[in-house]
Structure 1
Amino acid sequence: MNFPKRIFAACVGDIMHLAWTGVEYATHVEEHKNCTDCKCTPLFQQKKTERQWIFEVFDAMGKVPAGIMSGNNLWVGSWSTCRKIDVVKNAQGQKWKGQYCLATIDAYERDNPLVYFGNMMSGAPDRHCYEENARNITDDGSCFELFPVLKFGLCMPNTCTNHDVKRMLDLAVRATEAAVGTQSVCNIDVECRAESYSDALSSNGLALFALYFLISTIVLIGFGTCYDLLILTKHPEGIEDDPAYNHWFVKFILAFSLYTNGDEILTSKKNEKEINSLHGVRFLSMCWIILGHTYYYIGTSLTTDNLVPTLINFPKQFHTQIIVQAPLAVDSFFFLSGMLAAYSMFKRFLKVDKLPPLGPYNPKTWFFYYVKRYTRITPTYAVVMLFDVTLFTYISNGPFWRPIERQGCRIAWWTNFIYLNNFLLQDQECCMGWTWYLANDMQFNVVLLPILVIVFCKWGEKAGLGTSIGFIALSSLIRLVITQVNGYPPAPLLTAKLQIVHQLNDYWNDVYVRPYIRCTPFIIGILVGYYLCAWTSKDQKDLKIKFERKTVMYCWCASTVLGLYSVFGLYWFAKTGDISKPWEILYTLFGTPAYSLAIGWVVFACTTGNAGPVETVLSWRFYVPFSKTTFCAYLLHPIMLQIYNLSRPQPFHFTTFTQMLRYTVEAVFSSYIVAFFFTVAFEKPFNKIDEMLLNTKKAMGEVQENGKATEMLPLKRAADRDSD
């Protein structure tokens, strides 16, 4: 048995004080029994009251809860009770203050706790009795860290550090294992919650920088708004010709005007130069993603007292496939990004008698395009990351609280800013893991977009269509090979046997975040963008295309079937955890293309005037402000969800699908409220400053009208920032 190293003396002293106080309390109680004079009772009562706090310590400790047979491993105790303990311990006035610590105990892989909760990924506990390939089970001594055996709350003195508590627990656990003659615990982690984050914040230089940056931004917003309201609004005519107004500093200040930026976001008037139905597609897809992430973060935060039964039973219901298949919503944004970027390019290169100087074959065209795209999304991305690893770390507290980014993005932050975080350092740190989408989208725009645009422009429709289909087929084939070789499921789908839970990390790295597997919707978006341009005349002001009624009906029926197949095609697999090999191969090859084609037709039909009531619904003006703040909502909503889950004072208990919808509505509302602030305070100002510094539109020969790009650039810019 390995005894722990020395424990800090102050911690040992306070633990001994707690023990001695307990002894004194028991002694006084025993002595009080022999008290026959009523005059001695107040004295004994006073002594007993002075030592009553020891019961608060033990009351705050974790206790055996209900539902342990269903996997309730959260014995958290009371964080608030422990934090209230504050008593004088000696004549010098020193205090014994309570500090809440949460211990996480992991078992060895051979003692995987999930095997005892139904017929799941590891099979029945006695499967070695009847399965030929399971009789020779090797013990590699690894920890099963996916699902801890126990999370136990401890009320300790604030003089104890994480290491002190861990050493004491390690000693207790090893002594117990030695007594029973077994060794099951492979790892013990302890995290003690700070009494106050104000001191921790003041000692964190990066957090102070973030705080000062936020204060400076608020000051700029105040100045910009006041200048806008008090000066510009009183002199609306001819002010743009004033040299003072055109000074760079004035424009810089005005970029932060809350009045102008807020008005630009909240204006919901339909724009004839935009495809208004895309606002609805963008917002509803974002809501679908938040719905899926609400469920995902409830599970991964490990704050649910009935997590295992929930994971097993939830996929068995037909309607919950909408939630477990939420990753499909990401493809909506890949599609939109490809479509709008391609349409902008084809509109410039195909519908002209002569190519502009910076045509599709000129490297400068793509250089300016990449620079513009990078400078538009990266500053806001960097601000959210800064706040994520600093100020958001100190925003809450509680028994489950921890930093949103466990390692503070200290290792891999730079991979995010070169948009290679879906390849580099995945095994060391996943900084803002949900931003894998931005990396993929940037890679698609850097590699796929120029290739297909050049092929279409130089060799025509047949060559472009053939190349696109070839890329899609190659992507599906690569996905099939990887999933079959590694035994992955056909989709990142939660099933009753929890296969994806066991394989989540490997599936994430090998399949989910790889651009050569996720590129299909982007390519289909490019195709839709091409045909929107190619099938309309050069001087046509709108994108209306007349099709025969029979053709439209066939396309809508096919789109509906493909959409339902992509969402509900794996229902039996989700319900049972079993799938036939032909069906598995079929969905692996065609599941993602089916959804992309379905959403592609919906957008194409709405754009060309063949969608009827669907276009009316998706073009509702209500969606417009939400659509304009979707980029910030995408960056912020996982942070909001994690703050909500990790701030719980007690474990969450999952009940019904309706409960999930209610939490999703709350998550959508809170995410977009915070996103609105970030959009007016950071995204809008950064984009205006970007226009001041990098006016690449003139270099690319884009048409200007009253200082604003015509055609679909306003919507394209939003699509450039669209996200998972």
Structure 2
Amino acid sequence: MESKDYVERKFNADAGFVIAVLVFGAILLLCLIATLRGALLKLSGILSNMTNDYRASQLGNDFNLQEQIDKEPTGNIRKKDSLPVRMLMCFDFYANITKILSIPNSASVDQLSVLNGMRVMSLGWVIICHLILVQLGVMDNTVYAIERSSNMLFQTLANAFASVDTFFVMSGCLVMLGTLRALDKFKDSGSPNGSFKFWVMFYLHRLIRLWPALLLTILFVAGIYPNLAPLFYSPFFQNDLPTASLAYLCKGTRWMSTGFFYNNWINNPDYACVGWSWYISNDVQFYIISPIFIVLARTSWIASVGATGICILVNTIIVLLASGLEDVPPSDNGLPIIALALQDSALFDDQSSWYIKTYFSFYCRFQAYGVGLILGLAIYEKEKIARILNRFVYSARLSLISFVWFIGFVAGIVNIYGCYFWANGYPMGAWAVAFYNSTMRLLWGIFISVIVLMSSMGYGGLIDKILGARFWIPFARVNYTTYVIHFVLLELYVQTIETVVHFTTIEYTLIACGMLMCINCVSIVVSCIIEAPFIQLEKVLLGGKK
């Protein structure tokens, strides 16, 4: 298959482009000024210390060197500076990248370091899956690539969408655990469930955390991205087609469903502005209702677990009925069974409506988040759990822990490879398929919860050492930025190639490794310019999340 002829595209400086240039130009200017000022402060500090060393050698005990050093700034944001200056220094690029790349010598168990590796590996799983999805449109052997989906290796790749539930579990866990620990400070006050200010900050902090990277990505996609086309020879660059252009989907008021976190409720979230951000919308909606379960946990952990369990059960029943009555295939999103769907187009058509209804919906995605809430409560009460375990003799305790690990791994394997036999031509009954569809996310949530809980209690072993390794930390810190921008970079890659792609396993593997490294490195830079400054601004203006 030959590539298309080159199509000349003209530069279009519309209002969106002008606004984007002004906004990004202002941010880069702030970064430049703040970085230069930070460098001058460090230089003056070095010169001052050199002078102090000389004076100390001349004056001996009459000069207090430590007292003089204590007067020097310990960071780029100094309390003695005015508020505008402290706000400016939030954009110090060197200070921000130093913080992101710094690796602590050790981490306490309470920090759940296992989540660092889990974050990076899960998002990497998403990226390599999205890579093949964007490549499908420019392949010259698409049928061959789709036929490969029936083998075991491809089933692992195709079920990368289970990693979305990993993030839901982690999110629910951290919200429950972090908030319960924060509310412990109110135990001796007249409001043990937190003050009004506490809950205002609970929501405000979330918006400050999510909005900068998301909204600026939307601005880049709508304003800058279309004007990258004239820079490349590629015939694949699309900037004005409704179903093929990232920019078109963010024009006008289309961006609002993403910016205000409801793009998972529109007719087809696949065609929403920055459509991959449907996860963020679901997460925000879960976050909004999470105080119900948190406050219940303060009163009675049984009530909290019971309420969460009821919501999980309702979620399960909805998916069970929708899947069984519509006779849909056994799949989270259709990708793990596309090899069989290739021979049966009607199957793919039937799957599409179910995919839209249950893959993105708030009421069909609570299972993993609910498991995460229960996990967070379990970690909060892990000392009680440890005391119960210690009542058993060593052999019985070891058997119980081994059994929990076994259950967790079985749950994970069933989730990932539940479609394998069906995709290779072995039939399943409609309600057997429905049962799988309605429990697969719950099973994955159990798998992830077992890893996190066992690691937090000291029973993680080799898995804890791998996932909790310190080299994951810098990439875990920019995980949110990586998620928000990764698909833009993948689209930019596939729309700027000048010839079609010929799929082979080796070539795909090499490209995937390169894209993973490239995207993570770009994310560190972008986070230093966008995400980190706004996190610092929150601390300067509001004192951070209390």
TM over 0.5: yes
Task: Kindly indicate whether residue 163 of structure 2 is the aligned counterpart of residue 329 of structure 1.
Answer: yes
What is the TM-score normalised by the length of structure 2?
A: 0.85
8 A contact 2:186–2:192 mirrored in 1: no
Q: Please point out which of 393, 411, 421 is paired with 2:253.
A: 411
Q: Please point out which of 168, 171, 177 is paired with 1:343.
A: 177
Deviates more, 1:575-584 or 1:463-472: 575-584
What do the CA deviations read for 1:214-266 (whole angstroms, capped 9, x no partner)? 23222221221121121146436324599884311211221111111001100
Q: Distance in 2 between matches of 1:386 and 1:504?
A: 33
Q: Distance in 1 between matches of 2:350 and 2:26?
A: 45
Q: Which runs of no fewer than 5 residues in structure 1 stay unpaired?
A: 1-64, 66-74, 80-99, 101-192, 703-724
Structure 2 equivalent of residue 509 of structure 1: 356
Task: Kindly indicate whether residue 519 of structure 2 is the aligned counterpart of residue 671 of structure 1.
Answer: yes
Q: Please point out which of 333, 349, 354 is paired with 1:492.
A: 333
Structure 2 equivalent of residue 710 of structure 1: none
Structure 2 equivalent of residue 298 of structure 1: 135
Structure 1 equivalent of residue 291 of structure 2: 450
Structure 1 equivalent of residue 59 of structure 2: none
Q: Distance in 2 between matches of 1:209 and 1:320?
A: 43
Q: Which runs of no fewer than 5 residues in structure 2 stay unpaired?
A: 46-68, 240-245
What do the CA deviations read for 1:35-58 (whole angstroms, capped 9, x no partner)? xxxxxxxxxxxxxxxxxxxxxxxx
Q: Distance in 2 between matches of 1:674 and 1:428?
A: 25
8 A contact 2:16–2:223 mirrored in 1: yes
Counterpart of 2:272 in 1: which secondary structure? coil
Counterpart of 1:479 in 2: which secondary structure? helix
**Do the aligned partners of residues 532 and 573 (structure 1) sit closer, same or farther apart at CA in structure 2, a change above 3 Å counting?**
same
Structure 2 equivalent of residue 441 of structure 1: 283
Cα distance, 1:427 vs. partner?
A: 7.7
Counterpart of 2:128 in 1: which secondary structure? helix
| Higher helix residue share | 2
Task: Kindly indicate whether residue 538 of structure 2 is the aligned counterpart of residue 690 of structure 1.
Answer: yes
8 A contact 1:325–1:567 mirrored in 2: yes
Cα distance, 1:631 vs. partner?
A: 0.8
Cα distance, 1:557 vs. partner?
A: 1.0
Structure 2 equivalent of residue 277 of structure 1: 114
Q: Please point out which of 10, 27, 31 is paired with 1:217.
A: 27
Matching of residues 237-252 of structure 1 within 5 Å: 237-239=70-72, 245-252=80-87
Matching of residues 256-655 of structure 1 within 5 Å: 256-269=91-104, 270-272=106-108, 274-299=111-136, 302-311=137-146, 313-349=147-183, 351=184, 354=187, 356-357=189-190, 359-360=192-193, 364-396=197-229, 397=232, 398-403=234-239, 404-424=246-266, 426=268, 429-447=271-289, 449-458=290-299, 460-490=300-330, 491-494=332-335, 495=337, 496-498=339-341, 501-502=348-349, 506-536=353-383, 548-576=397-425, 578-655=427-504
Structure 2 equivalent of residue 715 of structure 1: none
Q: Which amino acid aligns with 2:121?
A: L
Q: Which amino acid aligns with 1:672?
A: N
What do the CA deviations read for 1:518-569 (whole angstroms, capped 9, x no partner)? 111111111111111123279x9xx998682111111111111111111012
What do the CA deviations read for 1:82-104 (whole angstroms, capped 9, x no partner)? xxxxxxxxxxxxxxxxxx3xxxx
Q: Which amino acid aligns with 1:497?
A: L
Counterpart of 1:360 in 2: which secondary structure? coil
**Do the aligned partners of residues 516 and 609 (structure 1) sit closer, same or farther apart at CA in structure 2, a change above 3 Å counting?**
same
The higher-RCO structure (CA 8 Å, 6+ apart) is 2
Cα distance, 1:629 vs. partner?
A: 1.0
**Do the aligned partners of residues 568 and 505 (structure 1) sit closer, same or farther apart at CA in structure 2, a change above 3 Å counting?**
closer
Q: Distance in 1 between matches of 2:458 and 2:422?
A: 38
Q: Which amino acid aligns with 2:524?
A: F
8 A contact 1:435–1:635 mirrored in 2: yes
**Do the aligned partners of residues 668 and 427 (structure 1) sit closer, same or farther apart at CA in structure 2, a change above 3 Å counting?**
closer
Q: Distance in 2 between matches of 1:696 and 1:649?
A: 47
8 A contact 1:532–1:604 mirrored in 2: yes
Cα distance, 1:504 vs. partner?
A: 6.3
**Do the aligned partners of residues 77 and 434 (structure 1) sit closer, same or farther apart at CA in structure 2, a change above 3 Å counting?**
closer
Q: Distance in 1 between matches of 2:156 and 2:301?
A: 36
What do the CA deviations read for 1:468-505 (whole angstroms, capped 9, x no partner)? 22211110110111223333333213322326753565
Cα distance, 1:639 vs. partner?
A: 0.8
Q: Distance in 2 between matches of 1:411 and 1:253?
A: 32
Cα distance, 1:581 vs. partner?
A: 2.7
Q: Which amino acid aligns with 2:414?
A: Y
Q: Distance in 2 between matches of 1:477 and 1:355?
A: 42
Count of aligned pairs between the two proteins: 498
Q: Distance in 2 between matches of 1:468 and 1:432?
A: 30
Q: Which amino acid aligns with 1:597?
A: I
Cα distance, 1:508 vs. partner?
A: 4.1
Q: Distance in 1 between matches of 2:416 and 2:303?
A: 32
**Do the aligned partners of residues 358 and 660 (structure 1) sit closer, same or farther apart at CA in structure 2, a change above 3 Å counting?**
farther
What do the CA deviations read for 1:431-488 (whole angstroms, capped 9, x no partner)? 11000001000000101x1121122222x12222222222111101101112233333
Q: Which amino acid aligns with 2:349?
A: H
8 A contact 2:3–2:235 mirrored in 1: yes
8 A contact 1:633–1:675 mirrored in 2: yes
**Do the aligned partners of residues 218 and 696 (structure 1) sit closer, same or farther apart at CA in structure 2, a change above 3 Å counting?**
closer
Q: Distance in 1 between matches of 2:323 and 2:135?
A: 27
Q: Which amino acid aligns with 2:473?
A: V
8 A contact 1:316–1:576 mirrored in 2: no
**Do the aligned partners of residues 287 and 304 (structure 1) sit closer, same or farther apart at CA in structure 2, a change above 3 Å counting?**
same
8 A contact 1:535–1:545 mirrored in 2: no
What do the CA deviations read for 1:600-639 (whole angstroms, capped 9, x no partner)? 0101111111011111111111111110111111011111
Q: Distance in 1 between matches of 2:268 and 2:191?
A: 38
Q: Distance in 1 between matches of 2:78 and 2:141?
A: 66
8 A contact 2:329–2:351 mirrored in 1: no
Q: Distance in 1 between matches of 2:97 and 2:383?
A: 35
Matching of residues 169-188 of structure 1 within 5 Å: none
Q: Distance in 1 between matches of 2:350 and 2:219?
A: 31
Structure 1 equivalent of residue 40 of structure 2: 230
RMSD (Å) for aligned C-alpha atoms: 2.7
**Do the aligned partners of residues 292 and 354 (structure 1) sit closer, same or farther apart at CA in structure 2, a change above 3 Å counting?**
same
What do the CA deviations read for 1:626-683 (whole angstroms, capped 9, x no partner)? 1011111101111111111111212111122x33322221221121122111100010
What do the CA deviations read for 1:265-313 (whole angstroms, capped 9, x no partner)? 00122333622111101101111111211122222xx2112223322x1
**Do the aligned partners of residues 228 and 318 (structure 1) sit closer, same or farther apart at CA in structure 2, a change above 3 Å counting?**
same
8 A contact 2:316–2:439 mirrored in 1: yes
Q: Distance in 2 between matches of 1:321 and 1:243?
A: 53
| Higher strand residue share | 1
Q: Distance in 1 between matches of 2:435 and 2:268?
A: 30
8 A contact 2:150–2:424 mirrored in 1: yes
What do the CA deviations read for 1:342-392 (whole angstroms, capped 9, x no partner)? 00122234x568354554375554332111111221022111111112212
**Do the aligned partners of residues 333 and 478 (structure 1) sit closer, same or farther apart at CA in structure 2, a change above 3 Å counting?**
same
**Do the aligned partners of residues 632 and 406 (structure 1) sit closer, same or farther apart at CA in structure 2, a change above 3 Å counting?**
same
